[in-house]
A and B are shown apart, each in its own frame.
Chain A
């Protein structure tokens, strides 16, 4: 436990790229299911929105439609947020709410975006936002407005302005990519000729921990997405894998084989302070901190096949959590700590399940056969996971009630190992 490796260095080699990704295969999002109770909302074109590089109202509408929670009511003409709202007219069109706004080009090149949200039933303004930003932040502004609409109308924080990270594989090249939650704005964080697995966002959204095989064996790294700085968090003898962050971002839980078989350890984010947490004679892997940081969920084969268990962050006795089926792996816990997502093998199919921890109620969320790597949206409403589409690996998103479904595919190659990033300031 004293062999802490604290290798922190800036990698200057060309294989590590950050920033503009150049010619990227775009992600295609396909909506395959919608929610049961949809809120009817009208998003009018913003006045003068041609001043922005992309249509703000278009991005907002795409976000809201993808969520499956809204029914978009046609709003043909642009509506200024300062004009008097004819509530009766919007109500008669079937809209419970109206979003309106204006874009103005500022002298310094920035765009000034003003938006207001009206409740047509109450006949009142319920929200507003004024933001000035450079044109490259246009999409982000639109996602933030969509987040505001989502939150004001559903009571749940929106996650449209969040980002995702995932791994693509095309030929011999593996890439760790970062994109907006809608699959747009792809940026390459790491390029390698060897596999990359298990990326995990830090709670502050500036770093990603992952496992890289670039040295002929799995080693856990933390990469700062902004500065490119890469830190080896764990390079113990044997395999180093399955990183997950503590809620405060100070420590990571990892799975190491240094003691002769795979067990759960915790380590500081700089690679110091390694400590063994689990103590079994079999496999203990895939550790995940609980929402309060006090316990660790993990996969163990102590009862024969793999099942999900929970133990204290300081170790000690583990409590079995999953009982349905003989193969349950990849635990992920929702931010409110109430729901466990995992992959279960039933009748030879590996499928996404959600378990209500209070009631023990289990719900199958997918009808595909080779699901992997679930990841909750930070608002706990959606789960992204890896699956197969044809013979290619693709990503899918499903709402926790199983009703809303989306599929994300690339034009070529495989896309897998998704991790949904946190809310950012």
Chain B
């Protein structure tokens, strides 16, 4: 059996040698392949090897509260609506707990009016979200409020439904 294994090892090394032109990688690979053999053959069968599962970042949970990253605004309004405060609170709580994470808050407007003035209006929406988050304890260093104005409409079309969808700030990690 051990003969077979070393034969397989030689074959694998040969295959690697022919596949890879850098000798450095070839030298490293066998070490990695052999390492598990030592671990999976414990001498003491009563010895328990602990396993820890990787903790799931709540940000990666598609059904979690952090999956909702949009805050909507009324026409010509630049304050976070009551209905959207949970979105701000959830992300604020996560950011306070996770200082390594940084966000971009992108403000948007509907298509009506000038590009630059809308950029400034989108900024007002992003700033409103930023201030709400700061009030909930999120450090300024973790947030940047910016505007896309009317340049990146999520909803196409020139109707009230599309305009309402585009009066929005998005949290981008």
Contact = CB atoms under 8 A, between A and B. Distances in A.
Q: Do A and B come from one complex?
A: yes
Contacts, number: 90
B171 to A, nearest CB: 13
B152 interface: yes
B146 A327 contact: no
B162 interface: no
A198 B104 CA distance: 23
A386 to B, nearest CB: 9
Contacts of A213: 148, 151-152
B5 to A, nearest CB: 50
A343 B149 CA distance: 17
Interface stretch (B31-39, B64-72, B118-126): B118-126
A372 B150 CA distance: 13
B123 A239 contact: yes
Interface residues of B, number: 23
A195 interface: yes
Interface in B141-155: 144-149, 151-152
Contact of A330 (B114, B127, B144, B152): B114
A262 B116 CA distance: 11
Interface stretch (A74-82, A136-144, A253-261): A253-261
B172 interface: yes
Nearest to A197: B115
A144 to B, nearest CB: 34
B123 A217 contact: no
A350 B115 CA distance: 12
Contacts of B123: 238-239, 257, 261-262, 283
B113 interface: yes
B114 A343 contact: yes
B116 A238 contact: no
B76 to A, nearest CB: 9
Q: Which of B115, B121, B152 has the most CB of A within 10 A?
A: B115
Interface string A210-235: 00010011100000000000000000
Contacts of A345: 113
A260 B128 CA distance: 10
Given A213-B148, A217-B106, A217-B146, A417 B115 contact: yes
Contact of B113 (A195, A216, A257, A350): A350
Contact of B127 (A197, A241, A261, A372): A261
A349 to B, nearest CB: 11
Given A216-B172, A217-B144, A261-B127, A197 B117 contact: no
A309 to B, nearest CB: 13
A216 B146 CA distance: 9
B144 A299 contact: no
Contacts of A145: none
Interface of A: 195, 197-198, 213, 216-218, 237-239, 241-242, 255, 257, 260-262, 283, 285-286, 299, 306, 327, 329-330, 343, 345, 350, 372-373, 417
Interface of B: 104, 106, 112-117, 119-121, 123-124, 127, 144-149, 151-152, 172
10 contacts: A197-B149, A213-B148, A217-B106, A217-B148, A218-B149, A241-B116, A257-B120, A257-B145, A262-B123, A373-B115
Given A238-B123, A373-B115, 15 more contacts: A197-B119, A197-B149, A218-B146, A239-B119, A239-B146, A242-B119, A255-B119, A257-B120, A262-B123, A283-B120, A285-B120, A329-B113, A350-B112, A350-B113, A417-B115
